Amino acid sequence: MSTKPTLRALLEKPGILALPGVFDGISARVATAAGFPALYMTGYGVAASRLGIPDAGLASVTEVLGAVRCIAEATDLPFLADGDTGYGGLLNVERTVQAYAAAGASGIQLEDQEFPKKCGHTEFRRVIPADDAVRKIRVAVESRPSRDFLIVARTDARYSEGMDDALRRGEQFLKAGADVLFVESPESPEELRRVGETFKGAALLANMVEGGRTPFLSTAELEALGFKIALFPGTGFLAAAAALKATYAHLFANGTSNGGPPLYPFPDMNKLMGFPKVHAFEQKWTETAPRRAAE
C-alpha cells in the first residue's frame, strides 16, 4: 500500500497542483519518474491510445476501466480519472464511481453533457438540464467508498448556454457536495478570472489544452487567478504522437532509425518498466531451485 499523500491531502497543501495527462502504463511510469505528486487519466488519451477512436462518447465503461486498472498498477501515485457522463443514468453513475474506486482511481471527473459526450474543446456539445446534472453529483458523492475519493464536477455549459449558466451550475454542484469544480473551456483570460472570483475558496480546476479553446496559461498564472488544479491532459499524447510521426517517417524514408529523432534508450526503458525486479526474482529462484532439487 502506498504511503504517499492522498489526493485530498495534496489539495489541502498550499500552492497549485499540476496534473499531467496519462493514458497508459508507459505514460504513467514516465510521469511518475518525472516527479509529479499526482496524475490525471485523460479520456481523450485513453480513447485514442487504447481504441484509436475520437473522444466522442464511444468508449464503454468496461474499456475505460481497463485503463484505470492499468494506470493504478503502473504507479503508486494518486490520480483523478475521467468518467465522462458516468456512462448513463443515476444507477450507472453509482456503479461507475464504485468501479473506478475499486480499480484504483483516487477520484472521478463527471460532466453534465448529453450522451454521447464530446471532448470539451470540440464542437457540438450540449448539456443536460441542471437539475439532472446536480442529481448525478449527489449520487456520486453518496456512492463513493470514502471522503478521500474525490468528486470533480465539470460543466460544459459555457459552450452551449453561456458563462452565466456555467457559473450557476458550478454553484449548484458545490452545494451538492462536489470536492472540485471544473468549468470547462472558458474562452478568455477574463472568463478564467471570473471563475476564480466567483468561487473564491473552492477547489477550482483549469483545463490547459494546447491548441484548445481556453487561453493557455502557466500554473503560476492560474494560481494567481484562484485555481487549485491545472490539468495538462493532452501534453503527453500530443508529444507521443509527434515523436512517433517523426520517427516512423524517418524509418520509412531511410530504412533505419539511425540518424532519426532521439529514442528513449532501451536499457533505460527496461529499468522504467521494472525489469530489474524481474531479474532479481529470476536470479533468486534460479539459484535456489537446483540446490533444493539436490537436497
Distance, CA of 160 to CA of 104 (rounded, Å) = 34
Coil vs helix vs strand at 17:
strand
Cell of 187: 474562452
Give the integer Cα–Cα distance in Å for 12 and 228. 10
Residues 6 or more apart whose CB falls under 8 angstroms from that of 234 comprise 21, 42, 44, 45, 209, 210, 212
The DSSP symbol for 20 reads E
Q: Is the dihedral of CA 51, 25, 22, 79 positive or negative?
A: positive
* DSSP H helices in the chain: 7-11, 25-34, 43-46, 61-74, 90-103, 130-143, 157-160, 163-175, 189-198, 219-224, 235-254, 266-272, 275-294
Compute CA distances 205 → 138, 192, 196, 276, whole Å.
Answer: 19, 10, 10, 38
The whole-angstrom separation of Cα 230 and Cα 76 is 20
What is the pLDDT, as a whole number, of residue 51? 95
- Other Cβ atoms closer than 10 A to 264: 11
Question: Count of CB atoms within 10 A of residue 32's CB?
Answer: 21
Q: What is the pLDDT of residue 46?
A: 97
Question: pTM higher than 0.85, yes or no?
Answer: yes
By C-alpha distance, which of 175, 181, 185 is closest to 150? 181
Question: CA 274 from chain center: how many Å?
Answer: 23
Q: Residues 160, 128: contact at Cβ < 8 Å?
A: no
Cα gap 177→167, rounded to integer Å: 16
Helices 163-175 & 130-143 angle (0-180, nearest 10): 30
- For residue 54, the 8-state DSSP code is -
pLDDT tens, N- to C-terminus, the chain (295 residues): 456 789 999 999 999 999 999 999 999 999 999 999 999 999 999 999 999 999 888 999 999 999 999 999 999 999 999 999 999 999 999 999 999 999 999 999 999 998 888 886 877 789 999 999 999 999 999 999 999 999 999 999 998 899 999 999 999 999 999 999 999 999 999 999 999 999 999 999 999 999 999 999 999 999 999 999 999 999 999 999 999 999 999 999 999 999 999 999 999 999 999 999 999 999 999 876 555 544 4
